[in-house]
Amino acid sequence: MANTEKKRNDLDHPEAGVKNRLKKQTPKWVKITIWVSLLVILLTFIIVCLAIKRGDILNTVFYQVLVNNVLAVPSILIGIIVLLGYLLQGKAWFDAVAGMFKGICGYLILQIGSSFLTGVSRPLMVLFGKLMGTNVVLLDTYTSWSEINEALGTAVSIISYTVLIGLAFNILLVALKKITNVRSINVTGHIMFQQSSVVVAIMYFFVFKDIANESTKQLLIILASGILIGLYWGVFSNLAYAPTQKVSNNAGFTIGHQQMLGVWAAYHAGRMFALKGKEVKSAEKLNLKKGFRIFHDNIFTSAILLLVFFGVLFITVRIQGSWPELLTGIGGYNLFGDKHWILQLFGLVFIVVAALQVLMFGARMFVAELQKSFIGISGKLIPGASVGIDIAGSFSYGEKAVTFGFLAGAIGNFLGIGLVVLLGQVANINVFRVIIMVGFIPMFFDGAALGLYANASGGWKACLTIPFIAGFIIVFGAVLVVQTGGSTGQIFQIGYNGLFDWTTMWAIILAILSSVPSAVGMGLLFVVALFFILIAQMTTTEPGKSMPIKRLLLKKWIKKDEELATELAAAKQAKAEAKLNKQNKS
The beta strands (E) that lie in 140-220 are given as 184-186
Q: pLDDT at position 88, please?
A: 73
Name the residue ranges covered by the structural domains of the chain. 72-541
Residue 220, pLDDT > 90, answer yes
Average pLDDT over residues 177-191: 82
pLDDT for 61 beyond 70 = no
- Using CB atoms within 10 Å of the CB of residue 55, give its burial: 0 to 12 exposed, 13 to 18 middle, 19+ buried: exposed
In the prediction, which pLDDT does 33 show?
60
Task: Tell me which of 61-65, 502-506, 563-567 is least confident.
Answer: 61-65
With cut-offs at 50, 70 and 90, classify the pLDDT of residue 419. Answer: very high
- Reported as a single tens digit per residue, the pLDDT across 324-351 is 887 887 787 777 777 888 888 888 888 8
- pLDDT over 80 (residue 49): no
pLDDT given for residue 12 in this prediction: 41
**3-state SS assignment for residue 86:** helix
Comparing 151-165, 257-271, 370-384, the range with the smallest average pLDDT is 370-384
Per-residue pLDDT tens for 243-298? 988 888 877 778 888 999 999 999 999 988 887 657 788 888 876 566 666 665 66
Whether residue 116 has pLDDT greater than 50: yes
Report the pLDDT value the prediction gives residue 17, as an integer from 0 to 100.
Answer: 40
Residue 442 is predicted with a pLDDT of 86
Q: Are strands 386-389 and 495-496 parallel, antiparallel or unpaired?
A: unpaired
pLDDT at 562 over 80: no
In eight-state DSSP terms, residue 60 is H
- Tell me how far CA of residue 204 lies from CA of 143, 192, 219, in angstroms: 19, 18, 11
What is residue 390's predicted lDDT score, i.e. its pLDDT? 76
Q: Could you write out the DSSP letters of every residue in 277-299?
A: TSPPPPGGGS---GGGGGGG-HH
How far apart CA 240 and CA 450 sit, in angstroms, is 12
